Amino acid sequence: MANFNKVSVANEARTELHDKLQLTGAEVSVNNLPAGASVPFVHYHKKNEEIYSITAGRGKAVIDGETVELKAGDWLRISPAARRQFFAAENEGISYVCIQVKENSLEEYTNTDGVVEK
């Protein structure tokens, strides 16, 4: 068995990668909303925080009733309990990657988890 998985993602409305990449510690989704569209529901999580990377376009998130304007290059972290909904701008779509991980689960990262071979 290979120590990696690779997939290509089409320009679909939403692609979840947990099954496609056999993820074991996170959920990652690739999302595309056309101009004027929105995620059709408000949601929150029981355990997972979400990290969003806006990769193209413009839009907004409404988080606990507060509007947060979004554009390409922005990053956003949302606590599990926060109620959220995403919207594309009226005249421009928005594309983003959402990473879900269990809140407070990060134990090691970069320099403390990485091993450099000599």
Compute the distance between CA of residue 65 and CA of residue 83 in angstroms, rounded to an integer.
8
Tell whether the model's pLDDT for residue 15 goes beyond 80. yes
What CATH number does residue 55 fall under? Answer: 2.60.120.10
Domain range spanning residue 69? 26-104
Judge whether 33 lies within some domain: yes
Compute the distance between CA of residue 5 and CA of residue 25 in angstroms, rounded to an integer.
14
The reported pTM is: 0.90
State how many domains the chain has.
Answer: 1
Compute the distance between CA of residue 62 and CA of residue 83 in angstroms, rounded to an integer.
8
Judge whether 14 lies within some domain: no
- Identify which of 71, 80, 74, 87 has the alpha carbon closest to the alpha carbon of residue 37: 87
Judge whether 118 lies within some domain: no
Q: What is the pLDDT of residue 1?
A: 58
Q: What is the pLDDT of residue 24?
A: 92
